[in-house]
Structure 1
Amino acid sequence: MSTPETMASAAAPLRRIAAAITPADLDRPTPCAEFDVAALVSHLLYWAPGLAAAGRKQAPPEPETRPLPHDFADTLRARVDDIVAAWSEPQAWRGSAEFAGAVLPAPLLGGMVVGELVVHGWDLGRALGIDVGWDDALLDFLFEQVSATAEQGREMGAYGPAVPVADSAPTLDRILAATGRLPHWHPVTV
């Protein structure tokens, strides 16, 4: 899988999930312990413009801190589309890019962006009871990326402690476990 094609494949389930989120879903818990659905959508909306700017090799915009917009689902889909457009250009994956005050190798940052889309897409899907999946080539690519950066991610507070899973577990489960998620997490129902 070429890296420019990777982003569209990573984003497709998140776009579908974003369209399904309703105001009644916003207080649902997610597998990302510090976020309910509203907070996770806010997180994605907050960082998306900077991720897109990094793919375009542009100066990062000042992040917006504001309440969740009324049209949060449409806004989330539009921002995901912008990330995909930026990172679908081959030059996005070359050289270096700036994000969150750090200059990183573009392929490393691109892999992190794929991780954001896949892992948070899975988080939201689980919270809403929507099954999501990605093709094997994308998951193999992401597992390689997450494996190379997991310890750094934990040091930065982006990942929780690794969760033990068998080496024979599905690739998505191993990705989730490396980021500190329980692969078989389901919301508690009363």
Structure 2
Amino acid sequence: MQKMSELLAAARAQALPVVAGIDDGQLGDPTPCSEYEVRALVNHLFQVVVNFKALAAKRPADFGETPDVVTGDWRGAFARETAELVTAWGAPGAEDGVTGGMKLPARTVGLMVLGDLTVHAWDLARATGQDFVPDPAAVDVAGPALAELAPQAREGKVFGEPVPLPAGASPFEQLLALTGRDPGWRPPRA
């Protein structure tokens, strides 16, 4: 079984160029997550990274108010925060037991942040006209875990309803559709 820190490091490597490639003029653009424009999705992803870093250390997380972190060197801050996320999940015991207030197996929680980092990187890439190829291991490992969590995630309004796909859809397209995303989504034309 591949270590969570290794999976997160690979997902981070795919996400960093996407975040670095977001132009400030694109921050108000729509994303495949209809409830978020680019700026709000970046803020949400920062909140996810910070909180799942705490969960790796078995500390409580706070998913209350989402602060606006898209100021100053926010791209550099994202690189630092995600590096710390990888380190946190590589610490001895991070994948053992149950995490903070979520009361879920630590490995499951790690798979949740792996899915978020991968899917939201795609969201941001698609919204800003960038290419994105997910880490295949991240998709292979996170896909089944998120499929298992999908009913709860839909109930909690974390995932949308699944999107129907044609036969032969790739594993990543299946993962996107599972979370309520249309893998063919493109930004609306101005």
TM-score normalised by length of structure 1:
0.90
Partner SS, residue 102 of structure 1: coil
- Structure 1 residues 111, 25: CA separation in 2 closer, same or farther (over 3 Å shift)? same
Q: Give the alignment's Cα RMSD to 1 decimal.
A: 1.9
Within-5 A mapping of 1:103-118: 103-118=103-118
Structural mapping, 1:29-178, within 5 Å: 29-60=30-61, 65-67=66-68, 68-89=70-91, 91-98=93-100, 101-166=101-166, 168-178=168-178
Cα offset, 1:81, TM superposition? 1.6
**What are structure 1's unaligned runs of at least 5 residues?**
none
Distance 1:3 1:129, change over 3 A: same
Cα separation, 1, equivalents of 2:39 and 2:30: 9
Do the aligned partners of 1:164 and 1:177 also contact (CA within 8 Å) in 2? Answer: yes
Q: Specify which structure has the higher proportion of strand.
A: 1
Change in 2 beyond 3 A, CA 1:62/1:172: closer
AA in 2 matched with 1:48? V
Match of 2:14?
A: 13
Aligned length: 188
Shift in Å, 1:47: 2.8
Superposition deviation, residue 62 in structure 1: 8.3
Instruction: Name the SS for the 1:16 alignment partner.
Output: helix
Consecutive unaligned residues of structure 2, counting only runs of 5 or more, are: none
Tell me the distance in 1 between the aligned counterparts of 2:56 and 2:151.
24
Identity of aligned residues (%): 36
Q: Tell me by how many angstroms 1:46 deviates.
A: 2.3
CA contact (8 A) 1:8 1:88 kept: no
Give the AA of the match of 2:156: M
Give the TM-score normalised by the residue count of structure 2.
Answer: 0.90
Range with greater deviation from structure 2 (179-188 or 79-88): 79-88
The alpha-carbon distance between structure 1 residues 62 and 182, as it changes in their structure 2 partners (threshold 3 A), is: closer
Structure 1 match to 2:189: 189
| Counterpart AA for 1:118 | T
Task: Render the CA deviation track for 1:9-47: whole Å, top value 9, x for unaligned.
Answer: 122121111111221110111101100100001111223
What's the CA shift string for 1:109-160, capped at 9, x where partnerless?
Answer: 0110101100101000101111111243321111111111111110111100
Partner amino acid for 1:49? V
Structure 1 pair 59–160 and aligned structure 2 pair: CA distance change class (3 A) = closer
Pair 131,104 (structure 1): closer, same or farther in 2 beyond 3 Å: same
Q: Alpha-carbon deviation of 1:64? A: 6.5
Deviation at 1:70, TM superposition (A): 2.7
SS of the equivalent of 2:104 reads: strand
